[in-house]
């Protein structure tokens, strides 16, 4: 089946001058391993660029929207917004999953690994838009797709540091200090994925996943808050 990237251009109303740049944003490393003669590279360099562009756009937006927030609060809010789970959800909603170029093996995996691929593709696409059409175009794209999530994050206070909050609640309600343990570690050095458990004493309360132990711990803490119904 041939993927028609013109369909994605219609969907997003963003038309690329360099069609190869658009296609490259969707090429996963695994696809190149099976299809080395495409003449195009995978999307990791674009992802690197897009990550920085995304951080600037989100930072600028939050700085202007919440003038009374401290640096720490803005940092926590940005981390909650530029989060692999949320970005993957955005990517899914705008149909990126239908345009991914993956190896046959990766194409079969629709679990957590696909979530990270989608998040990375969104960042790579942001990098591609920036290179091809400039800052204003990518700023509008992020404004339309990702920034609407801000209201929910603020209203539900999801931006607060989950580890600090769960520690505070655990000491208040069950008089224990949460402990974290790596339950699983997978992937090559350049693309590690961690699964971390949060424990109250001997009891496993919740698990979290992330590209780093810190991210996985935050995810586990956030999930524990939901399990315990401690999100006020």
Residues annotated catalytic, as ranges: 51, 123
DSSP 211: S
CA distances in angstroms from 178 to 23, 146, 203, 204, 218, listed in the order given: 45, 32, 10, 10, 12
Sheet of strand 179-186, all strands in order from the earlier edge strand to the far edge: 179-186, 193-200, 203-210
SS3 content of the chain, % helix, strand, coil (to 5): 60, 10, 25
Look up residue 232 and give its DSSP letter. -
Residues ≥6 apart with Cβ < 8 Å to 10: none
Q: Are 186 and 198 in contact (CB under 8 A)?
A: no
Q: What is the distance between the alpha carbons of residues 63 and 71, in angstroms, rounded to a whole number? A: 9
**DSSP 8-state secondary structure symbol assigned to residue 97:** G
Strand partners, 198: 180, 206
Strand partners, 203: 200
């Amino acid at each position: 089946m041939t993927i028609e990237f013109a369909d994605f251009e219609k969907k997003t109303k963003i038309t690329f001058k360099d069609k190869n740049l658009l296609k490259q944003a969707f090429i996963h490393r695994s696809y190149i391993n099976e299809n080395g003669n495409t003449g195009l590279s995978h999307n990791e360099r674009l992802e690197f660029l897009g990550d920085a562009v995304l951080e600037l756009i989100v930072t600028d937006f939050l700085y202007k929207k919440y003038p009374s927030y401290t640096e720490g609060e803005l940092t926590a809010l940005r981390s909650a917004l530029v989060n692999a789970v949320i970005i993957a959800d955005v990517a899914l909603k705008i149909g990126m999953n239908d345009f991914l170029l993956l190896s046959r093996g990766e194409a079969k995996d629709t679990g957590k690994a696909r979530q990270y691929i989608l998040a990375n593709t969104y960042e790579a696409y942001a990098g591609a838009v920036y290179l091809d059409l400039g800052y204003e175009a990518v700023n509008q794209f992020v404004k339309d797709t990702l920034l609407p999530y801000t209201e929910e994050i603020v209203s539900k206070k999801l931006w607060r540091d989950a580890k600090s909050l769960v520690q505070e609640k655990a000491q208040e309600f069950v008089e224990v200090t949460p402990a974290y343990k790596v339950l699983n570690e997978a992937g090559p050095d350049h693309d590690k994925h961690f699964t971390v458990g949060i424990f109250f004493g001997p009891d496993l309360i919740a698990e979290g996943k992330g590209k780093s132990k810190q991210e996985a711990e935050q995810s586990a803490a956030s999930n524990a808050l939901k399990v315990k119904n401690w999100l006020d």
